């Protein structure tokens, strides 16, 4: 028999672990005492909120399980704990605040393709399958930590598919996204505009019977678009203007052109999504015809639009203003000390060929890819020269971030831990080394393990730099 439990002493956690077994006949079960004791020791919520919190009134989502998530939950809570009504609207990791379900609970219930719990792909995040997307929930918590509200601006200088802007706009903060790839500017603008579509009107007008004609229209436009090679300058143009120009000068006339701007853009995005599915799923057991993908995606997009419309209406939530700009992170079209926070993720060294990944999309829109390659960070140069150019560009982009940040504000940079030719490229160390040289006063690195996903990527790092 193992060592007996001595009930006269209040057990410490350590004693409990050391005890192998109990004599159930002689010793009363210590569970009630121990469970309360253990809870105080290890309950993540009491670490986030402090020991004295009212347990009935607060709850984290059940899938908040990693250390970085708890750290972010604590950080977002610390920023808004004086205004719990606002915190309930903004929080990313809490399911219940002040006894009431949070906005994120309802928003993340608008499920999208490929969604995992409350972390990603909810509302319009899943529109267009862009590889290398952020997780919306994590971004929301980082924006909250920065404490930006109302007219203050959150910037993403490597916007990609617009995750930061979507999260900023639904927590009620203004945002600006800069991206060098015009196709992604278009995708992000449409995903953002779709948050505001009046679904009942859209449903009434775009009857299912029109779908084959809509599909045919975009198919025919394809030949037309590629014939008229689209010269694109990185000139800080607004994505809305790019889309208007696209419709005016590059798409042929048809009934589709008479739909409201946001609607025909959305139909274009559904077509582009089907094009991506068709390209990537050909030869797999999920293969379908291009047209079938278009119809399936139309149905799925409609469900998301309906869910988003109804949820936002119920919560009286109107997305805040956002601006998408075709520009470069190396030369930001913004004034010094003008933004409240930066949440971004530069290309992960040379791990992903962003042009190759989206070639079908770029070709459809008739965009000159050789020119784009010469401008994109991580794709410039050949072999060894590539890493040197990458380093130079990343440093320049961090200097630009410093310039546009307000004093005291933070930049959060998400970076991959990538192995190239058997060598690990650790840009986290580099950026931390540069930070004081550039002028940042504080730096903190958080580690996020990647479970599944890209086999080459084991971790991401979230670097927090304060001006
Ligand atoms: C890791 S991805 C960002 C993904 C984004 N966080 C999301 O959730 O979709 C990096 C992006 O940087 C863009 N990029 C590359 N060079 C750039 C430059 N000089 N200026 C701005 N964006 C650039 C790439 O086109 C790519 O979309």
SS3 347: coil
345 and 391 fall within a common domain: yes
354 and 401 fall within a common domain: yes
| Ligand 1 centroid to residue 6 C-alpha, Å | 61
| Ligand 1 centroid to residue 270 C-alpha, Å | 22
297 and 341 fall within a common domain: no
329 and 458 fall within a common domain: yes
255 and 357 fall within a common domain: no
Separation in Å, CA 97 to CA 141, 300, 319, 363: 15, 31, 22, 47
pLDDT at 23: 53
340 and 461 fall within a common domain: yes
Last residue of a domain, one of 315, 344, 378: 315
Q: Are 463 and 444 in contact (CB under 8 A)?
A: yes
Q: Are 101 and 322 in contact (CB under 8 A)?
A: no
Nearest alpha carbon, ligand 1 atom 25: 181
Candidates 319, 360, 366; CA nearest to 191 is 319
- Its pTM stands at 0.90
- 214-263 tens-digit pLDDT: 999 999 998 788 776 777 788 999 999 999 999 998 899 999 999 999 99
292 and 362 fall within a common domain: no
Last residue of a domain, one of 282, 315, 348: 315
303 and 421 fall within a common domain: no
Q: What is d(CA 48, CA 45) in angstroms, rounded to the nearest whole number?
A: 5
190 lies in a domain? no
Q: Which residues lie closer than 8 Å to 451 by C-beta, 6 or more apart?
A: none
347 lies in a domain? yes
57 lies in a domain? no
306 and 327 fall within a common domain: no
As for ligand 1, residues whose beta carbon falls within 6 Å of it are: 130, 132-134, 158, 160-161, 163, 178-181, 184, 328-330, 345-347, 354, 376-377
407 lies in a domain? yes
Which atom of ligand 1 is least distant from the CA of 160? 27
| Ligand 1 centroid to residue 345 C-alpha, Å | 7
310 and 329 fall within a common domain: no
122 lies in a domain? no
| Ligand 1 centroid to residue 329 C-alpha, Å | 9
| Ligand 1 centroid to residue 212 C-alpha, Å | 34
Last residue of a domain, one of 315, 336, 363: 315
| Ligand 1 centroid to residue 162 C-alpha, Å | 10
pLDDT at 390: 87
pLDDT at 56: 80
Domain that holds residue 352: 323-466
Which atom of ligand 1 is least distant from the CA of 184? 27
341 lies in a domain? yes
Which atom of ligand 1 is least distant from the CA of 134? 8
33-65 b/e with 16+ CB inside 10 Å = b? Answer: ebeebeeeeeeebbebbeeeeeeeebbbbeebe
pLDDT at 61: 96
301 and 406 fall within a common domain: no
In total, how many domains does the chain have? Answer: 2
Which atom of ligand 1 is least distant from the CA of 328? 20
| Ligand 1 centroid to residue 349 C-alpha, Å | 11
Separation in Å, CA 40 to CA 254, 359, 410, 438, 456: 66, 54, 33, 43, 39
278 lies in a domain? yes
308 lies in a domain? yes
| Ligand 1 centroid to residue 160 C-alpha, Å | 5
Nearest alpha carbon, ligand 1 atom 19: 328
Question: In order along the chain (467 residues), what is the average pLDDT of each group of 10 residues?
Answer: 44 46 54 63 85 84 93 96 96 97 97 86 94 91 95 97 98 97 96 97 84 94 78 88 92 93 97 94 92 96 97 97 97 98 87 80 88 84 80 96 98 82 77 96 91 66 96
Nearest alpha carbon, ligand 1 atom 10: 347
Candidates 436, 440, 433; CA nearest to 342 is 440
Among 120, 376, 401, 417, say which to mutate for ligand 1: greatest number of ligand atoms within 8 Å of CB: 376
pLDDT at 117: 85
Nearest alpha carbon, ligand 1 atom 4: 160
445 and 329 fall within a common domain: yes
Which atom of ligand 1 is least distant from the CA of 188? 9
Among 134, 139, 155, 160, say which to mutate for ligand 1: greatest number of ligand atoms within 8 Å of CB: 160
Question: Residue 411 belongs to a domain with what CATH number?
Answer: 3.40.50.150
Among 377, 390, 398, say which to mutate for ligand 1: greatest number of ligand atoms within 8 Å of CB: 377
């Amino acid at each position: 028999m193992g060592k007996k439990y001595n009930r006269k002493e209040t057990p410490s956690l350590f004693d409990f672990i050391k005890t192998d077994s109990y004599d159930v006949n002689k010793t009363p079960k210590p569970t009630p005492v121990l469970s309360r004791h253990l809870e105080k020791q290890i309950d993540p919520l009491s670490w986030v909120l402090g020991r004295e919190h009212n347990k009935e009134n607060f709850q984290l989502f059940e899938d908040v399980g990693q250390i970085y998530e708890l750290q972010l939950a604590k950080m977002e809570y610390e920023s808004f704990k004086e205004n719990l009504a606002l915190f309930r609207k903004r929080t990313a990791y809490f399911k219940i605040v002040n006894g009431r379900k949070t906005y994120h609970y309802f928003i993340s219930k608008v499920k999208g393709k490929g969604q995992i719990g409350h972390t990603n792909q909810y509302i319009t995040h899943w529109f267009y399958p862009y590889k290398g997307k952020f997780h919306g929930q994590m971004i929301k918590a980082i924006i909250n930590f920065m404490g930006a509200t109302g007219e203050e601006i959150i910037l993403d200088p490597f916007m990609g598919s617009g995750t930061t802007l979507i999260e900023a706009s639904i927590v009620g903060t203004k945002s600006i996204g800069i991206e060098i790839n015009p196709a992604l500017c278009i995708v992000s603008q449409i995903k953002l505009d779709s948050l505001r579509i009046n679904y009942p009107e859209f449903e009434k007008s775009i009857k299912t019977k029109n779908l084959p004609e809509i599909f045919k229209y975009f198919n025919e436009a394809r030949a037309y678009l590629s014939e008229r090679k689209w010269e694109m300058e990185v000139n800080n143009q607004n994505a809305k203007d790019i889309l208007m120009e696209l419709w005016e000068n590059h798409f042929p006339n048809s009934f589709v052109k008479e739909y409201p701007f946001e609607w025909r853009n959305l139909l274009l995005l559904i077509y582009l999504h089907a094009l991506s599915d068709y390209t990537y799923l050909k030869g797999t057991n999920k293969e379908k015809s291009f047209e079938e993908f278009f119809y399936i995606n139309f149905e799925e997009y409609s469900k998301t639009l309906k869910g988003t419309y109804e949820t936002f209406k119920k919560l009286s939530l109107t997305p805040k203003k956002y601006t998408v700009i075709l520009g470069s992170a190396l030369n930001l079209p913004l004034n010094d000390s003008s933004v409240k926070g930066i949440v971004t993720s530069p290309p992960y060294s040379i791990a992903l060929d962003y042009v190759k990944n989206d070639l079908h999309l770029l070709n459809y829109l008739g965009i000159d890819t050789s020119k784009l390659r010469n401008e994109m960070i991580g794709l410039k140069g050949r072999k060894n020269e590539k890493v040197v150019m990458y380093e130079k560009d990343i440093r320049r982009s961090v200097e630009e971030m410093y310039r546009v940040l307000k004093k005291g504000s933070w930049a959060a940079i998400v970076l991959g831990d990538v192995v190239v030719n058997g060598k690990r490229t650790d840009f986290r160390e580099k950026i931390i080394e540069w930070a004081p040289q550039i002028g940042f006063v504080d730096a903190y690195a958080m580690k996020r393990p990647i479970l599944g996903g890209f086999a080459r990527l084991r971790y991401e790092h979230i670097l927090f730099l304060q001006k």
